[in-house]
Amino acid sequence: MSRILTWLQVTSDQFHIWNYFWAVKPIITSQESKDEVFLFVANMHSYNQVQDWSIRQNTLNTLKLYLATWVDPDKVFIYNQADVPGHTQLMWVLTSLTHMWFMERMHAYKDKSWKMKANEISVGLFTYPILMAADILLYDATHVPTWKDQKQHVEYARDIAWKFNHMYGETFVLPEPVISEDLGIIPWIDWRKMSKSYNNYIWFLDTDDELVKKIKKIPTSAIWIEEPKNPDECNVYKIYTLLLTNEEDAKLRERYTAWWLWFWQIKEELIEKMISFISPIRKSVTEITDEQIISILANNSPKANEIANSKIKDVYEKVGFFL
């Protein structure tokens, strides 16, 4: 059986449909399989980027959206990273076994630190792959879904696990990175990636009116109505297809390549589909209380600690911390 480990960041509580398709939908698919799914709130990682009290509210709001979009807390084991001291305990052991030059090669650090002023780069930014390795190795995760930019970190987790096993005997499971399909950039009203700073995204809490306005604004090409159109060049299609079954998608593609496709008509259909997708979620978010979220995390904390502590005990005995 596989144990899939996944996380959520709480640097903000802005949650657009793009977040859903890349982060949540794979969890929903996995929760229906035989695999175990562990989902942790990566608040210690988020703290590296956001140092204010919003982390707490972001955790509550983001988890509400996860539950409202059908992540089932009875099937997915959801826990709070900061509830489990084992993450930092293991991190220290791994930090001591990791060579400086090795960390210096990490692309994500290099990319980020180049864009930042030298006096803004925290030590945490440099060492977070080690915390990440601890997140993974503590729970014997077999699979870690990730994107290309984080693949190197999961490989580092494998390497350091291998090194430890080699030095002290079999201790850690070597995790497998699972590279998520690249959904590409979802072009939006201005052909840029959906993002809060451009306000060009569909947020799960958008009202029906806002949805109508945003969808109507999506630019379409000025091809004659009589001519066949290429769905892959059409932003309306690219958003619409996310909400369709394969069959419905094939039909829509046919309509694009046939003549006489009116973009306004496709937009009307998309509006209807989007509203029926989003409005139940918007409603159920308001029905989930802070207390419900807090109690899920509190209930799962002992089990998370139990798993982590047994790994820490093993590690501490091997390195000579326990006599």
> Which residues bind to ligand TRP, rule: CB under 6 A?
5, 7, 9, 42, 45, 132, 135-136, 144, 146, 150
Provide the residue count of the chain: 323
* Nearer to ligand TRP among residue 111 and residue 232 (C-beta): 111
- Distance, in Å, from the CA atom of 3 to the CA atom of 75, rounded to the nearest integer, reads 12
* Nearer to ligand TRP among residue 36 and residue 135 (C-beta): 135
Shortest Å, Cβ 150 to ligand TRP? 5
Task: Give burial (CB, 10 Å; 0-12/13-18/19+) of 257.
Answer: exposed
* Nearer to ligand TRP among residue 137 and residue 296 (C-beta): 137
Contact 267, 215 (CB under 8 A): yes
- Distance, in Å, from the CA atom of 33 to the CA atom of 259, rounded to the nearest integer, reads 42
- Distance, in Å, from the CA atom of 143 to the CA atom of 93, rounded to the nearest integer, reads 22
Shortest Å, Cβ 32 to ligand TRP? 21
Assigned token pair, 239: 């958003």
Shortest Å, Cβ 215 to ligand TRP? 29
Beta bridge partners of residue 153, listed in sequence order: none
* Nearer to ligand TRP among residue 65 and residue 218 (C-beta): 65
Assigned token pair, 299: 């209930």
* SS3 category, 29: helix
Shortest Å, Cβ 25 to ligand TRP? 17
* Nearer to ligand TRP among residue 157 and residue 296 (C-beta): 157
* Nearer to ligand TRP among residue 63 and residue 266 (C-beta): 63
Beta strand segments in 219-317, E: none
Concatenating the DSSP letter of every residue in 110-163 gives HHHHHHS-GGG--HHHHHHHHHHHHHHHTTT-SEEEE-HHHHHHHHHHHHHHHH
* Nearer to ligand TRP among residue 7 and residue 164 (C-beta): 7
